[in-house]
Amino acid sequence: MCGIVGYVGPKKAQEVLLEGLKRLEYRGYDSAGIVTVSSGITQLRAKGKVAELEQKITDDNTNDGVGIGHTRWATHGEPSERNAHPHHVGDVYLVHNGIIENYKELKQQLAEYEFVSDTDTEVLAALIDSLYKREDVKLENAVTQALKLVEGTYGIAALSPKEPHKVVVARKGSPLIVGVGDGETLVASDAAALIAHTDNAIYLKDGELAVCTAGNVEVMNLDEQPVSAIVEKIETNLEAIEKQGYDHFLIKEIMEQPDTLRSTLSGRVVKEQGLLRLGGLNMNEEELRAVKNIFIVACGTASYAGQLASYYIEQFCDDVTIRNEVASELRYRSFNVPENSIAIFVSQSGETADTRACLQEMKSRGVRCLGIVNAVGSTIAREVDGGVYVHAGPEISVASTKAFTSQVSALVLVGLVMAQAKGVDQELVNQYIDEFDALPDELEKTLARHEEFQAIAKKYERYDNAIYMGRDTMFPVALEGALKLKETSYIHTEGQAAGELKHGSIALVDDRFFEVAFIDEHRLFEKTMSNVIEVNARGGHVLAITNSPRDIDAETVVRVESQLQLLTPLVLNVVSQLFAYYIAVARGNDVDQPRNLAKSVTVE
Ligand code: F6R
């Protein structure tokens, strides 16, 4: 979603801002803008990509050393230059991520202003300007006073030609990171925009504001009381956010899964000693033993990861009831939390608004909250009581792939640690440990067959409809596969429990559909085959993805030779990821930034 960058220092701000905005492009956006200041001020905005913005740059003001920039994913008002940030009102230029919920009421109170955009951000800029006009008020004072009147969420960066040496930033519910460089200060909503310049960062907390000047940062709260800020190391590097020879981030991230999974498991699964170690859970054996209910809360792919992991966890923690909850639904439902419950929040970005809202709700009810998070230092990671960083590295492609594999694995590890505390047979734990040990190599072997899957994708690239189906652990794989195909290829795809097909969806089967069936040799093979046969009988075009050596009556069969008994779904899932990728490429789509989508959904 929207991205913020800012710079104060000796370099040319325009260049730093544009480079930063390009690093944030992956998040998805529909317009962009920058403003830089020294003796004069230059504001540039454009609908579309950062490249369109770049075309507007002339030689004027290229030496300015202070500026802010933004990529906008439209919420209030269409994508257009008029609605693009920065918004300029009076002496204030403002970029903003999030939503100002009471902007209509505020707008009525700001009758002296003429608004030219449809955005809530312009209203906030006017509010700041109205307070900035008062005597002896500095930009940071105007910002704190304005933010006290605001309802909603924000990450903001503001500057003014009246105080051209500073950028003021603040956050509530939307990330804001201050990069502390040598004689320079950077700001960004995502560490990816900072790491070319510095790996020292202050992660602002909700309700904090920072006044950034060249090489100096003052952090305060909204009462303008100083806050001592901790400078932390950003745990990523430039290589991790570059394509490294691949055509797209999506294929890079699919192909790197053997390594990213090794990082997830490293130090946590100790095969030689039959040990599992998850220090970050912050739960002792007694607390783990007491757990009787687990809420797994997430959105999209992360929620399918939760669903898949539940199939495993409920097998080996047989006194535990698991509820998988889609965060956008749970947050508005009235639900009971039984005694001895914990809640696990699964999120790649650690910033998803609905997941965060559920986390707040669970915390307010005193429930112990754990996080399965990829982005280090993200809001969810900071707000939970404990958890597991999945360490899959930055995921740049909007469609989530490597995070899924790592999320499922991390969740299963949490379940196993709990099962051990509850006295599960070590034999079973050892079986999982062996499978986790073998899984990265199995992924590698399967991914190496990518050209074969590309050829199969060719057969199906012109269809406009698809049904994905599976049973048991293959059901969440079907849901995830369907999501991957629809979001990257724009083929209308439904994920189904195979057994549900004849309760409705089988009515759709005709020549315009193809069906992908995930068939597990070790679980419900015959049952799933009976669904395949039903589809065949109605003229369906079935692509079977399986680990079974048996004869399978389907139009196309992808057979994966796997020694695994338990974790095969994660192997079949990478076939499905590659299949979606190759179809999306063949259809000429923007595979890394599919239309209308954003990485990290920070508004509800
Ligand atoms: C799909 C996808 C989304 C995310 C969802 C949750 O490929 O990427 O469905 O999984 O928006 O995002 P996180 O995991 O960042 O909370």
How many angstroms is it from 111 CA to the middle of ligand 1?
40
Please say whether the beta carbons of 12 and 30 come within 8 A: no
Predicted confidence band at 250 (pLDDT cuts at 50, 70, 90)? very high
Task: Specify the pTM.
Answer: 0.89
Q: What CATH architecture does domain 2-234 belong to?
A: 4-Layer Sandwich (3.60)
CA–CA separation, 312 vs 143, rounded Å?
A: 50
* Percent of the chain residues topping a pLDDT of 90: 90
Predicted confidence band at 219 (pLDDT cuts at 50, 70, 90)? very high
Predicted confidence band at 196 (pLDDT cuts at 50, 70, 90)? very high
- Which atom of ligand 1 is least distant from the CA of 484? 7
Q: Where are the alpha helices (DSSP H) in 170-298?
A: 249-255, 257-265, 285-290
The reported pLDDT for the residue numbered 75 is 81
Ranking 261-275, 333-347, 523-537, 590-604 by mean pLDDT, the lowest is 590-604
Residues 124-135: tens digit of each pLDDT = 999 999 999 999
How many angstroms is it from 403 CA to the middle of ligand 1?
9
- Which atom of ligand 1 is least distant from the CA of 380? 16
The reported pLDDT for the residue numbered 528 is 98
Q: Any catalytic annotation for residue 133?
A: no
Query: Angle of helix 402-421 relative to helix 426-447, nearest 10 degrees?
Result: 170
Instruction: State residue 365 phi and psi, 5-degree precision.
Output: -90, 5
**Torsion sign across C-alpha atoms 135, 137, 139, 141:** negative
* Percent of the chain residues topping a pLDDT of 70: 99
* Domain coordinates in residue numbering, the chain: 2-234, 243-446, 449-596
How many angstroms is it from 400 CA to the middle of ligand 1?
6
Number of C-beta neighbours around residue 425 at 10 A:
11
The reply to whether domains 2-234 and 243-446 share a CATH topology is no
Residues 562-576: tens digit of each pLDDT = 999 999 999 999 999
**How much is the average pLDDT of 268-297?**
95
Q: In the predicted model, is pLDDT for residue 305 greater than 70?
A: yes
CA–CA separation, 181 vs 520, rounded Å?
A: 53
**How much is the average pLDDT of 208-233?**
96
The reported pLDDT for the residue numbered 447 is 98
- Which atom of ligand 1 is least distant from the CA of 600? 15
Q: In the predicted model, is pLDDT for residue 239 greater than 90?
A: no
Q: Which of 301, 304, 328, 355 to mutate to test the pocket of ligand 1 (most atoms within 8 A of CB)?
A: 301
Ligand 1 site, CB within 6 A: 299-302, 347-349, 352, 355, 399-400, 483, 487, 600-601
How many angstroms is it from 423 CA to the middle of ligand 1?
34
Q: Which of 174, 248, 352, 602 to mutate to test the pocket of ligand 1 (most atoms within 8 A of CB)?
A: 352
Number of C-beta neighbours around residue 523 at 10 A:
18
Q: What CATH architecture does domain 243-446 belong to?
A: 3-Layer(aba) Sandwich (3.40)
Residues 542-558: tens digit of each pLDDT = 999 999 999 999 999 99
- Which atom of ligand 1 is least distant from the CA of 349? 15
Burial of 107 (0-12, 13-18, 19+ CB in 10 A): middle
Q: In the predicted model, is pLDDT for residue 271 greater than 70?
A: yes
Average pLDDT, the chain: 95
Please say whether the beta carbons of 79 and 30 come within 8 A: yes
The reported pLDDT for the residue numbered 361 is 97
Residue closest by Cα to atom 11 of ligand 1: 300
CA–CA separation, 34 vs 21, rounded Å?
A: 9
Residues 87-139: tens digit of each pLDDT = 999 999 999 999 999 999 999 999 999 999 999 999 999 999 999 999 999 99
Q: Any catalytic annotation for residue 2?
A: yes
**How much is the average pLDDT of 400-425?**
97
Cα-based distances in Å from 442 to 73, 172, 223, 259, 393: 39, 43, 56, 12, 20
How many angstroms is it from 352 CA to the middle of ligand 1?
8
CATH number of the structural domain 449-596: 3.40.50.10490
**How much is the average pLDDT of 535-542?**
95
Q: Which of 344, 349, 593 to mutate to test the pocket of ligand 1 (most atoms within 8 A of CB)?
A: 349
CA–CA separation, 103 vs 98, rounded Å?
A: 12
Q: In the predicted model, is pLDDT for residue 60 greater than 80?
A: no
The reported pLDDT for the residue numbered 274 is 86
Predicted confidence band at 61 (pLDDT cuts at 50, 70, 90)? low
The reported pLDDT for the residue numbered 1 is 75
How many angstroms is it from 304 CA to the middle of ligand 1?
10
Predicted confidence band at 166 (pLDDT cuts at 50, 70, 90)? very high
The reported pLDDT for the residue numbered 59 is 65
